[in-house]
């Protein structure tokens, strides 16, 4: 499931395991289903790939396109995590960054210090 894929990637990245093959398999499984990911799943998936320094340009493009469509549904922590992941991966996604910036500006009062300062 999309939730299972994002949880798996997040867990592996969180423990700091080097697992390039696993991230490659997650990318292959996630890409055709990227439209089924909830905002949290999209943010966690991007965060996990950035944290693990696992590259998958096709998945990043897919996540960025879907996140741009769903940006208004992102909570502050998801917005911050996705923005951090895009920066960490040097992603050239101006459409998504613009939408994330607008989302953040519209909900700035809801941001907590930890949500906006940590990855």
Are 45 and 17 in contact by the 8 Å Cβ rule? The answer is: no
The candidate with the shortest Cα–Cα distance to 50, out of 29, 35, 69, 64, is 64
Residue linked to tokens 């798996």: 8
Looking at residue 76, its pLDDT comes to 84
Structure tokens at 90: 């040097």
Residue linked to tokens 């990227």: 34
| Cα 64 to Cα 58: distance, rounded to the nearest angstrom | 10
DSSP-derived 3-state class of residue 89: coil
In order of 11, 25, 78, 109, 119, the CA distances from 48 in angstroms are 8, 14, 12, 27, 10
Query: Residue 115: is its pLDDT beyond 60?
Result: no
Residue linked to tokens 């289903």: 33
pLDDT band at 96 (very low <50, low <70, confident <90, very high): confident
How many residues are given for the chain? 119
- Each residue's pLDDT tens digit, 40-91: 999 999 999 999 999 999 999 999 999 999 988 988 889 888 989 988 988 8
């Amino acid at each position: 499931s999309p939730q299972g894929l994002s949880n798996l990637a997040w867990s592996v990245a969180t423990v700091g395991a080097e697992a390039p093959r696993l991230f490659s398999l997650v990318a292959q499984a996630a890409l055709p289903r990227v439209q089924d990911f909830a905002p949290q799943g999209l943010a966690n998936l991007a965060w996990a790939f950035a944290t693990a320094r696992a590259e998958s340009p096709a998945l990043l493009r897919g996540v960025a396109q879907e996140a741009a469509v769903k940006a208004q549904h992102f909570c502050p922590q998801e917005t911050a995590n996705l923005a951090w992941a895009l920066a960490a991966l040097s992603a050239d996604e101006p459409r998504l960054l613009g939408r994330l910036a607008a989302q953040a500006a519209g909900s700035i009062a809801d941001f907590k210090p930890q949500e906006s300062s940590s990855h």
